[in-house]
Homo-oligomer: A and B are copies of this chain.
């Protein structure tokens, strides 16, 4: 699996990658520790604001809370077995970059490593900690985006629970049905 070349991507277009609801990999680092987790529970809360659920039993919860940083990585179908494997072991026991032969790429704005093999990487800073305590909900500001220029529509994976995944399919557009002010110029 090769590291994918990326281009800078405007943070206010984060929805283009995350709104369809793909499984993401969240990478974190704190002092000499680093972690990757698989996550299907996330949402946009603004053009450059993302909420992610990180269970407090996950090692990533502690690293995210202490560092107040993460990278949201968007893997594609070719990484499916690694994505499942990452979700089924703990960063307490193993370095997942090593185990799954993934490339830790240095970020520009955060210390957490980007997963080089993913189609997109969003460097994020934590906005607040109240929801972290209440719901294990981390509210992130996206501070830097990196997206591979091709394919235009990555083949993403979407979890249903029970070991089952939906893979992204056909693309359709309905721009003519939109009010002009609902679309970018």
Instruction: Please tell me if A171 contacts chain B, counting CB pairs below 8 Å.
Output: yes
Instruction: Please tell me if A16 contacts chain B, counting CB pairs below 8 Å.
Output: yes
What secondary structure prevails in chain A residues at the interface with B?
A: mixed
Instruction: Please tell me if A145 contacts chain B, counting CB pairs below 8 Å.
Output: no
- Which chain B residues lie closer than 8 Å to A40 at the CB level? 15, 19, 44
- Which chain B residues lie closer than 8 Å to A184 at the CB level? 161-162
Q: CA of A96 to CA of B84 in the docked complex: distance in angstroms? A: 41
Number of A interface residues in the complex (CB < 8 A): 53
- Which chain B residues lie closer than 8 Å to A88 at the CB level? 177-179, 182
What are 17 A-B pairs with beta-carbon distances under 8 A?
A: A15-B40, A41-B44, A45-B136, A51-B137, A80-B174, A85-B177, A87-B178, A88-B178, A88-B179, A158-B158, A162-B183, A162-B184, A163-B178, A163-B183, A164-B173, A165-B174, A166-B168
